[in-house]
Amino acid sequence: MMSSRKLLEQLVAFNTTSRESNLALIDFVRRYLTGLGVECELIHNAERSKANLYARLGPSGSGGVMLSGHSDVVPVDGQNWSVPPFVLTEREGKLYGRGTADMKGFIACMLAAVPYFLTQPLAQPLHLAISYDEEVGCLGVRTLLDALSQRPEKPDICLIGEPTELQPVLGHKGKLGVRCEVQGAACHSAYAPQGVNAIEYAAKLIQKLTVIGQRLAAPEHQDARFDPPFTTVQTGVIQGGRALNIVPAECTFDFEVRTLPQDDAQEVAEELEHYAQRELLPQMHAVNSDAAIRFYPISGYPGLYTAAQSAAARLLAHLTGSSAFSTVAFGTEGGLFHQAGIPSVVCGPGSMAQGHKADEFITVEQLDACDALLRRLAIWMCQKA
């Protein structure tokens, strides 16, 4: 039987940066589980370069609890690491390596707990899920959920093991990322009125986004359970222009909307598109009929807020010993599970304060505490009728 510490060492050694394949890690997990007598199912992407892993153990039938984590990690490029990022290094009770906190630490604990679950007289099934491409828009888990949607035997609860220092979390914001391409018309800057300045029209669109964001931040739209307590809108990338003496014909910018669970990010995108169609395009076409404004979705996932009175929340309170539920600023796959009819909560070892940065780490204490939490889950699953 492998400890969570040993399994984490193995998992960190796989470079599963989102731009890379995760198949080597998935094959390792598959061999580990099949060696314990647990059958696994792989759900590949279209190119078969990546895969989700799904497994279940315990009695047949619907219901039960799913433990879910993502296998991909963010890049280490340009970061100043003092240790090799894909080699687990222990210093003073801290385990360093890319993905230790986000979120291979939880996956290691999940896998280490399987032998214990197998010895217990479970009254309901345990489901295990490991996804790909969470870091680039929660892409991989969607095919896993598509597969589960075709089956009658679905879990009742999903525990997403993102790093919360094992504090019980019921919610997070949703996100929508959109690219806007403004096509203007170039000319010599000495004759600027004869052209359509794509940067200037992009600026008008960005200003409109600012106005929308200010409206959504008004007190009547706020929810104190979140930080910040309102839906945010921001432009993160902009590119355009070739030379100062040329009226720019192209400008592209990317914006994101991070919504409270009760808000709809698509409404922000639609309001901006309507503004472009009604206000800006007629002005542009008056100068050049080929001018255009186009919008393309980049990524997105729904927000999550599970009711504090739900069975999922009650289980999480039991496992953590706390009903002091909170929210997190980062997104998870939980909103997608919830949207698919599987109530979800978030709780895992480590802190996102260490995620996505050089010398990412998780403490040994957090791993041990997560091991204990999963043993409590196994006992609870035996007692439930």
Rounded distance, CA 53 to CA 51, Å?
6
Rounded distance, CA 171 to CA 305, Å?
4
Q: How many CB atoms lie within 10 A of CB 135?
A: 20
3-class SS at 309? coil
Residue 136, both tokens: 């680039």
Catalytic residue among 72, 133, 263, 333: 72
* β-bridge pairing 94-96 and 232-240: unpaired
3-class SS at 12? helix
Catalytic residue among 134, 162, 256, 359: 134
CA distances for 99 relative to 12, 32, 113, 114, 132, angstroms: 7, 20, 19, 21, 13
Rounded distance, CA 89 to CA 297, Å?
39
223 is catalytic: no
3-class SS at 221? helix
359 is catalytic: no
Rounded distance, CA 70 to CA 129, Å?
8
Rounded distance, CA 324 to CA 79, Å?
35
CA distances for 271 relative to 182, 248, 264, angstroms: 16, 25, 11
Rounded distance, CA 2 to CA 122, Å?
21
Rounded distance, CA 192 to CA 312, Å?
61
Query: Which residues are annotated as catalytic?
Result: 72, 134
